[in-house]
Each structure stands twice: as C-alpha cells, then as structure tokens.
A = this chain, B = another copy of it.
Amino acid sequence: MRETLIAISRRVKDAVQDLPPSFDRGLELGTGADGTPTSNIDQFAEDIILEYVEENDLPLNVLSEEAGALDRGHGRTLVIDPVDGTHNCILGIPMYSVSLAIGTSSLNDIEAGVVLNLENGDLFVAEKGHGATLNGRPLKVRSPDPRGCEVLVYMGRHAAVGTMDVVRRAARSRSLGCASLEMCMVAQGKFDAHYMNCDVYEKSIRVVDIAASALVLREAGGELVDLQGRRLDMPLDLANRSNFLAYGDVKVKEALL
C-alpha cells in the first residue's frame, strides 16, 4: 500500500519538475468540488494521480480536493491533496507537497500516508502501527524546550484573533502556508506544534489536507486534537472541516490550549 502511494507521489513530482516555465501554475480554472478555486497546478497534479489510478486499476475509491468523491465500488479510499500549499508553489516559496493516504471511513482509520515535498523531494511515509519515516529514517517528535515552544500557526484573513495568544505564548512562530508539511515538521521534531484557528468554518482544514500528515505525526509519537482538546477524527468527505492543534508532546497541548 505504501509503495503504491510512494510511486504515485514520485510520478507527480517528476511531472511537476518537467513543467515548462510557460506553464501558468496560478491560472484559475474554476471551482473545485471542495468549493475553493482550482489552480492550473492543482488540476495538473490531480489528473496525473487519477490517470495512475485508472491505468493501474487500483482497487480504491478516490476523494480529492478538485474532483470530489469518486465511488469506484471498493472498500478503501485514496484520499488526495494533489498540491497542498498551492500558493507557495505559485509564489516560489519552497514549501508545497502532494499528500496521499488510504483509509476506509475516517481520519482515524487511515492505514498509510505519504507526503512528498515537491520542491526538495523530502518523502514522509507512515504506516499505521509501523512508524513514520523521512527519506527512510525513522521520525520522532521532540520534547519542548523549557524556555518555550516553537510553533507553526495558520495565518490568513480568517485566522481567529486568539491565534495571537498562541503566538505570544510560544518562543518562536512561523506561518509557512502548507499544513501537510507543517504537520510533518512537528513529526520530525523541528517544531513543537502546528495550530490552526479559523473563525470561518469554510476556511478551516479538510480531511484531504491532513489525512496523510496526521498519520505521519501520530506514528512519530505526536497527536492531533480539536481546539477543545479532543482527539481529532474527520469523516472521509469534503464537507467536514475543523480547526486543530497538532503537537509532539502532551505538555505542549497543556501550554497552548
């Protein structure tokens, strides 16, 4: 299962790398199944993945950001974010990924997940019960520095004002605009937490964005909760959204929520 996800992610990376400079990554093509604008690069990457699924007749349904839910008559579903961090990709900030996971009905039964950084090729892989790796090396979350934690926060027009409380409680904050890779950086022990607090439901996270990275984080010893502190679960659809705190060590949860 993981090998299939790795193969798909590599095919996306190769194709994105081969794009001519004339390809307008940010061109808006319309509105995806999730209700957000579809950029040229999102559609391009999704097409490659769907083509792979068809060509190899993978025994999987598909849930993707742009195409929505494709019931192909199977028990398991391939959960896709073709490009997470689309605007970073357009702006040339080297933080955007393809994110792929396989599960049955919700975030908590995801069995395998892959996040591939499309800029530098960093490959995060997780299999439920078998740990998480970055480029083949095992990942482990870290314990926070007693001088204060380092946090990745969601920023944007709809970021709740309370976001600033978290920023000011942390020693250091960044906002990198790519939830999957930001969650993987917590799994990697580079940051203590990733926090999203939107005051508009339609702008908070979807399961397609984090299905893979949540497994990477949990398999590396971290946890993902809603802002009431409950273990986060989300059905495999595009309708449900949530705010979240992803953390490595439970002390971080206590300090930030």
Residues of A within 8 A of B (CB): 87, 91-94, 120, 148, 150, 153, 155-159, 161, 163-164, 167-177, 185, 190-191
| Interchain CA distance A159-B168 in the complex, whole Å | 7
Cβ distance A219 to chain B, nearest Cβ, rounded Å: 20
- Beyond A94-B94, A156-B167, A156-B170, 17 extra complex contacts between A and B, CB < 8 Å: A87-B172, A91-B150, A93-B176, A148-B157, A153-B175, A155-B155, A155-B167, A155-B173, A155-B174, A155-B175, A156-B172, A157-B168, A157-B170, A157-B171, A159-B167, A159-B168, A161-B168
The verdict on A159 contacting B170 (CB below 8 Å), with A120-B94, A190-B91, A190-B92 known, is no
Cβ distance A168 to chain B, nearest Cβ, rounded Å: 6
Cβ distance A31 to chain B, nearest Cβ, rounded Å: 15
Contact B164 A159 (CB under 8 A): yes
Contact A155 B153 (CB under 8 A): yes
Contact A161 B159 (CB under 8 A): no
**A158: B residues at CB distance < 8 A:** 168
From A88, which residue of chain B is reached at the shortest CB distance? B174
**A173: B residues at CB distance < 8 A:** 155-156, 159, 175
**A170: B residues at CB distance < 8 A:** 156-157
From A161, which residue of chain B is reached at the shortest CB distance? B164
Cβ distance A192 to chain B, nearest Cβ, rounded Å: 12
From A90, which residue of chain B is reached at the shortest CB distance? B190
From A188, which residue of chain B is reached at the shortest CB distance? B92
**A172: B residues at CB distance < 8 A:** 87, 156-157, 177
Cβ distance A17 to chain B, nearest Cβ, rounded Å: 15
**A177: B residues at CB distance < 8 A:** 172, 174
